[in-house]
Structure 1
Amino acid sequence: MGLLDDKVVLVNGGSQGVGAAIARAAVREGAVVAVTGRRPAPGEELVGELTAAGGKAMFIRADLADAEQATTAVGDVVAAYGRVDCLVNSAGLTSRGSLLETTPELFDKHIAINLKAPFFAMQAAVADMLGRKAPGTIVNIGSNCAHGGPPNLAAYSAAKAGLAGLTRNAAHAHRWDRIRINDLNIGWTATEGEDATQKAFHGAEDGWREEAAAKLPMGKLGQPDEIADFVVFLLSDRSGVVTGSVLDWDQNVLGALD
């Protein structure tokens, strides 16, 4: 038996990076998976990969900067599969900007994708669970920047801190409904998006991952497949009664100094 046998899992921002890794892991563990993304090509390619491997999956085109589309995506999954058992909010915007550099427009984009979209996706998913009087699980992909973050990620850090607070609030509100909600604050992770960000904002060249990894305690950046395995565990019954937890998935220890 898989950890998610017969579960219907929606992965927002699931067409690439950490989200795609979570979708693969969920299918491997027996789930039916829906992934959302702005661009059809990578989403449909992923769905093709998953179905070719014997899984059941669908792609939903959605721009999560629009809260209405985040809500509609949940409805699309319910229409296709009858329910949403598990939700993962993994979409994220990491455009740089310090306190002094961030424009209102950039701030609003960070809030829209990193906080507002998870809020309304959770609202729709929890409404479905309550309507069926069924338990469910939600995992929000946060960031260790929620603890403060570097100066050039001011709006991102603010939004991820808000996501941590939202996780605790919603988990408390719905614990008697047997709906468990947790947040995973991931650290520096090797994804396609991070590669593009490093090259666009920091002038990185090919080989930057290896150089960065050599300076980290574990000798590597966070790996999407390892994060995905942990998320599947949190979504599954194997994680027991854990809810309202904001977990740091990183190799740096908060508050510790050399």
Structure 2
Amino acid sequence: MGNGSPLDFTGRVVLVTGGTKGIGAAIAEGFLSAGADVVVCGRGAPATPPAADGRDAVFLPCDVRDPEAAAGLVDATVERFGRLDVVVNNAGGSPDADAATVSPRFVEKIVALNLLAPFYVAQAANKVMRGQESGGTVINIGSVSAHDPQPGTAAYTAAKAGLLALTRALALEWAPRVRVNHITTGLIRTESAAAVYGEDGGAAVADIIPMGRMAVPEDVAHACLFLAGDLSGYVNGADLAVHGGGEIPARFLAARQNTPG
């Protein structure tokens, strides 16, 4: 497929969950730019679908927390394009909540979105991919919270830690036909992140990141292109950190602030 370039996805079909805005939209646009046919899903239709090089992603409504809906999403994608080569499980997230008082309903919803939904989508995708000569790849978008919990994110942290473990388990079971990998994302500058990181666009937060800036959604999209294509043909069960080197330890920052300038 394509013109021989390892980053040419012409003729390949990519499904991005939660692909209508933010990181998901950037991932969808990255694959469109690389020539792929792209399907995005969300619970509500976007005003405009992700687009690149004069081509639009196809939007399908879906609540991926529902296993039947997740399977239907994969079926609809294959019905439309005849195959499925790449799934990016990007849908996720959580508002902050106090672990001492959070409701069981909230916990269940967060775990369903961040752990169960990727499982359901991957399961349906595997049925299709294992029957294709070229197999397929699943990419799970995770979080640094899985490694380093932040206050107010207990349910989210537990779910994301589960997603990392799920990635390794599926990679073990589904290889060699289907590869499954994970991306650990750090602080990412999106429109919805302004409320979290401040109106300075994350400039203050950037001081604690070794790379000196917050990630932009395109940084994650580029990692997805690598993990989905032939360049990573032997990469399976991996956790690719796209977080600029993590965070500079608080004790170092404190010492630096107390050093006379």
Gaps of 5+ in 1: 199-203
Structure-2-length-normalised TM-score: 0.87
Query: What is the one-letter code of the residue matched to 1:139?
Result: I
- Which structure has more helix as a fraction of its residues? 1
Kindly indicate whether residue 215 of structure 2 is the aligned counterpart of residue 222 of structure 1.
yes
1:34 aligns with 39
Taking a change above 3 Å as real, the CA distance of residues 209 and 148 of structure 1, as seen in their structure-2 partners, is closer
1:173 and 1:29 mapped to 2: Cα distance? 29
Which residues in structure 2 correspond to 1:92-241 (within 5 Å)? 92-176=92-176, 178-196=177-195, 198=196, 205-241=198-234
1:91 and 1:193 mapped to 2: Cα distance? 14
Taking a change above 3 Å as real, the CA distance of residues 181 and 61 of structure 1, as seen in their structure-2 partners, is same
Query: What is the one-letter code of the residue matched to 2:172?
Result: H
Number of aligned residues: 246
Shift in Å, 1:100:
1.2
Instruction: Say if 2:94 and 2:156, in contact at 8 Å, map to a contact too.
Output: yes
Q: Which entry has the higher C-alpha Rg, 1 or 2?
A: 2
Kindly indicate whether residue 45 of structure 2 is the aligned counterpart of residue 46 of structure 1.
no
Q: CA RMSD in A?
A: 2.1
Secondary structure of the residue aligned to 2:84 is coil
Residue identity (%): 37
Query: What is the one-letter code of the residue matched to 1:80?
Result: R
Instruction: Say if 2:209 and 2:247, in contact at 8 Å, map to a contact too.
Output: no
Equivalent residue in structure 1 for 2:240, among 227, 243, 247: 247
Taking a change above 3 Å as real, the CA distance of residues 205 and 243 of structure 1, as seen in their structure-2 partners, is closer
Instruction: Say if 1:13 and 1:19, in contact at 8 Å, map to a contact too.
Output: yes
Query: What is the one-letter code of the residue matched to 1:46?
Result: P
Q: Following TM superposition, where does structure 1 have runs of at least 4 consecutive aligned residues deviating by more than 4 angstroms?
A: 253-258
